[in-house]
């Protein structure tokens, strides 16, 4: 199983565009989020040598602009892709996906998406005084469970706990993505790092809205198990 990073503020190689948002491709077939801009996503998919029409599934963590920016042009190029959105996503967003003629799956509960790849199910929370629904990807590998979060607005610990609950016999290998700690206090950041360590999470790859303070705190606590990722990188699991 390989995860290709396709959208972030940092790049690992020349020829990629960067920007605020997140996207990655899992196992060559499941695209998780679509970044903040269509131009960036399409350019990066091309640069990474991804066959866009081969994308079978798109999973949208939540309907914020920096995760759905490349969705519409992508669906034009991969019209058969099935789109997984949270059941409680914004009505206008869901309508737009349907209007686009896409095969839409409204996610409520934990479910299998592809071999070894699952949705966490939706978490309903609030963000900036508005209701927000978010889902994460849960991947079962031979080395343990990997969780990929878009922004983790409900809290990265909550997302990890759900993955642990669904696979109680598996170890927690890695959490990757946006941990949404960029505006959090030192105390909250330290508490989160401590809790993830207690849960037995072996590796972390925080990016996007995780924030630099949280990244350095994770780096301190995880050492070699802090995985620095950026656009263009591939992580083999
Ligand atoms: Fe975000
Ligand atoms: Fe967000």
Pick the CATH number of 2-231 from 3.10.20.600, 3.60.15.10, 1.10.510.10, 3.40.50.2000: 3.60.15.10
* pLDDT value of residue 221: 98
Instruction: State the pLDDT at residue 101.
Output: 87
Distance (Å, rounded) from C-alpha 140 to C-alpha 121? 15
For ligand 1, the distance from its centroid to the CA atom of residue 92, given in whole angstroms, is 19
Q: Distance, CA 142 to ligand 2 centroid (Å)?
A: 30
Domain positions in the chain are 2-231
Question: What local confidence, expressed as pLDDT, does residue 143 receive?
Answer: 96
pLDDT of residue 22: 98
- pTM for the model stands at 0.98
Shortest-distance ligand to the CA of residue 209: 1
Distance 1 CA to ligand 2 centre (A): 26
Q: What is the DSSP letter of 180?
A: -
Helix (H) or strand (E) holding 45: helix 38-47
Residues of the chain with confidence (pLDDT) below 50:
none
* 146 contact partners, CB below 8 Å, separation of at least 6: 3, 138, 139, 173, 174, 175, 176, 237
Residue 12 tokens, joined: 């690992």
């Amino acid at each position: 199983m390989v995860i290709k990073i396709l959208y972030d503020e940092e790049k690992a190689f020349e020829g990629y565009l960067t920007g605020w948002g997140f996207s990655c491709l899992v196992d060559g077939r499941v695209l998780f989020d679509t970044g903040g801009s269509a131009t960036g996503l399409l350019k990066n998919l091309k640069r990474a040598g991804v066959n866009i029409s081969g994308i079978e599934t798109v999973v949208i963590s939540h309907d914020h602009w920096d995760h759905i920016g490349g969705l519409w042009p992508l669906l034009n190029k991969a019209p058969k892709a099935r789109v997984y959105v949270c059941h409680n996503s914004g009505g206008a967003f869901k309508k737009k996906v349907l209007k686009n003629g896409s095969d839409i799956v409204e996610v409520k509960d934990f479910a299998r998406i592809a071999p070894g790849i699952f949705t966490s199910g939706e978490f309903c929370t609030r963000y900036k005084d508005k209701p927000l629904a978010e889902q994460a990807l849960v991947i079962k590998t031979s080395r343990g469970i990997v969780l990929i979060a878009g922004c983790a607005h409900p809290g990265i610990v909550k997302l990890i706990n759900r993955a642990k609950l669904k696979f109680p016999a598996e170890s927690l290998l890695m959490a990757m993505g946006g941990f949404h700690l960029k505006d959090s206090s030192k105390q909250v950041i330290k508490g989160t790092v401590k809790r993830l360590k207690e849960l037995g999470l072996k590796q972390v790859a925080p990016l996007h809205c995780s924030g630099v303070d949280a990244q350095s705190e994770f780096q301190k606590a995880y050492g070699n198990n802090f995985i620095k990722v950026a656009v263009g990188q591939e992580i083999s699991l």
